[in-house]
Every structure is written in C-alpha cells, then in structure tokens.
Structure 1
Amino acid sequence: MRETPSKAEVAAVAKRVVKILVGQGLTCYLVGGVASMLWGTSRTPNDVDIVISTTMYTAEEIKRLVARADPRFLLVPSKNPRNTYKVTWFRKARSSDGSILRCKVDFLVPPTLNVPSLTDDHIVQKSALPVSPLLPLLLLKLQAWEDHRWARYADLQEKQHTDVADITELLDIAVREGVRVADAPWLSSLFLSAARRRVQSYVVQYYASRRAWRELGFTTV
C-alpha cells in the first residue's frame, strides 16, 4: 500500500483547496513542490504549499475555514508541543485498495516566509490551478535552500539536497522560458535584494549554475 501521495493525488488535493478558497473570494496561488511539479520538475511532492493574498484572515483562520468546508481536511496539533498552531492534513480512503491517502497542506499568508502577495494579473494557470510565476517560485526555493543549509537540526539540513535538485531543474526551465529578472518589477526590491545575495552564495557552492543565473539577469561572481 502506498505511504505517500502520487502526483495526481497531490494535484487533486490542491484543486480541492483552491476551489474552497476561490469560493470564499480569496486570491491564492501554489508554491513549493506542487508548483514546481506543474512547471515541469520531476520530483513528486508530498504536500501542498499555498499562498493566500489576504489581509482579512490569518493562516489559522484559513485552516479552520477549509476544514469547515470539507471534513476531509483535519486540523492536527503540531508534534512540537511548543507550537500553538494546527497542521492541516487531507485524509481519505483510496477507492483502489482501501489504503489511506494523507497529504499535508501548508497555508501561507504574506509576508510569512517572505512570500510575495501576488494579484491575479501575475498568477499563472497550470493544469487549471493557480501557480506562482517561475521567477518568484525559483527564488523562494533558493530561500528554502539557504534556510535548510543553516538550520539547527539535521533533518532540516538534509532538505537542502532536495532544494538543490529542484533549483537545478527550475533554473533550466526558467532559461528555456526566457525568464528575466528585469521583467518582474512587481516583485519588491527587498525580495529581489535578498535573492541576489542568495544567488551569490549558491554560485559559490554550485559554480556550474553560474551561467543559468546570468541568463536570468543576475550578477554572479
């Protein structure tokens, strides 16, 4: 029996979340592994990361809203007793073999984790799902790499290798798509300034990526 969701299952969970949020009049878009997958990366994500561009609700309020709309979304206390927030899990029995599909959903409200608040004009549709444009998606993954690289705990540090694999594929896709940092003036100067610093650090560690970053318009060492 499958322990982790398939690509199709993760996409289906994402569609259900989006339907609930859009039904409430909220603007949202996918980031992280699901968004990367929809742009063409090979890794199968095991959760859904979704940004809600709102000042009306907190992330905890949005979790409760989604759980009320669909009881298959369960709010579970964090494993860390110091955390007061709830973790959202989508759970249902698979019709094929009776095993249980479990997929975590993370809700992000800007400026949490520096995610940008995007308008509908900048959100991209992929497979009928609202997705982050390539550039901020790539730069958020770069931020995750830096955070995991300097994380205190070994399990978080280990995630940097997955980040590098995703960044490598996203960089190739961005170059093919003709992405240029100059074409995204709608991203804040603070967000881009931090990204430029991280690009320099990344190139020091992965020098082979230097040309791709330059093609996107970043200055590299």
Structure 2
Amino acid sequence: MTATLPELTLPAAAQDLLFREARTANAFTDEPVTADEIRAVYDLVKYGPTAMNSQPLRITLVASDEARQRLVPHMNDGNRAKTGAAPLVAILSSDVDFHENLPEVFPHAPGIRDMLHGNVDGRASMATLNAGLQIGYFIVGLRAAGLYAGPMTGFDAAGIDAEFFGGTAQKTLVVVNIGHPAEDAYMDRLPRLDESRVITVA
C-alpha cells in the first residue's frame, strides 16, 4: 500500500486499486462477468469529458458462444486463445455518426449537427480521439468494479467491422477481455517514464 500523496485527495487504497496495483490480465478464472456489471461501469464512466460532449464510444458485449466464434478468427494469432477463453469480451468502437446525437447532448449549439453532417473525415477523426478518451475511462471503471481488463489492438479491424457493424458507422478500435485474474495472469510490470521526462512547465 502506498501512502497518499499530499497533492492527491483520492485515498491511497483507491489509488492502488485504480492505478498502482492494477494490471493487464492475460488469463482469467471461470467466474462470470455479467452485462449488468458492465452497465454499472458505463453508468459511472459516462461522465468523463469528450469534445462537444460527443460520446462516440460504443460497447458491444460478445457474450454468446456464437458471437465469440464470429470474433475470434479476426484476432491476431497471439490473442485468439485468450479471447476465446475470457469470461466476457467487449468490442469498443467509435460511432462516426455521433453528430446525430448532438442536438440532445450538446443542445446549446443547435447548428453543430448540420455543420458536421458533410464532414465525414473530420467526424471520423473526432470520433476516434474522443472514443479513445472514453476507452481509458472504461478501463479505469472496470478496475473500480473489481474487474481486470486485457485490452488488445491486435486484430483485423475491417473484418470485425464487417462481421459486427456492417451497414453502420461504427469502427472497431479496441477489443477488451474482461474478468477476474487467474494465477500467473500477468507479465512482469514494464517500466513507466518518470514525470521529469514527461512533464514540462512552460
């Protein structure tokens, strides 16, 4: 347990749970993870900020054996076995048509939906960046729920898009295995850059 830094108001135990002791899991126990647990996680992390409150992240829970069989062949070789065995898998995608919700979620700018309507490339870039922010919130939310995440980008994104999102504006960004860690679920923790190499005061 690390002592709480005076600059942080979050208790030390919560700091450890969410960051210092949290690990990326590559193997899980058989304990199930329910859709209701993920809904509770989303209900917490939905408050994280996004540009124009755009909220482009979409979460597809791959819960059935049939859906898992459709997903696994699109994973890279090193990710197939663990994706096939995880208690629950989530496909995290961005919705390039997020602008359709802006009149509801960003109502004080009534013209913004129409302004973005014809700018597909701009929307795609904005969706990727802001869904990426939400993915970070989602992983921390899983940790807050006592769950472990194994996020992966080793897959055929176009194949997953065609398999799960054909005819929609959703684009796969990350696939996350979710569960409770098995023994030897982790690799050794890799080094992190010290703040002196990351933070510059201008």
TM-score, normalised to structure 2, is: 0.26
Larger RCO: Structure 1 or Structure 2 (Cα < 8 Å, ≥ 6 residues apart)? 2
TM-score, normalised to structure 1, is: 0.25
User: Which of these two proteins has the greater Rg computed from alpha carbons?
Assistant: 2
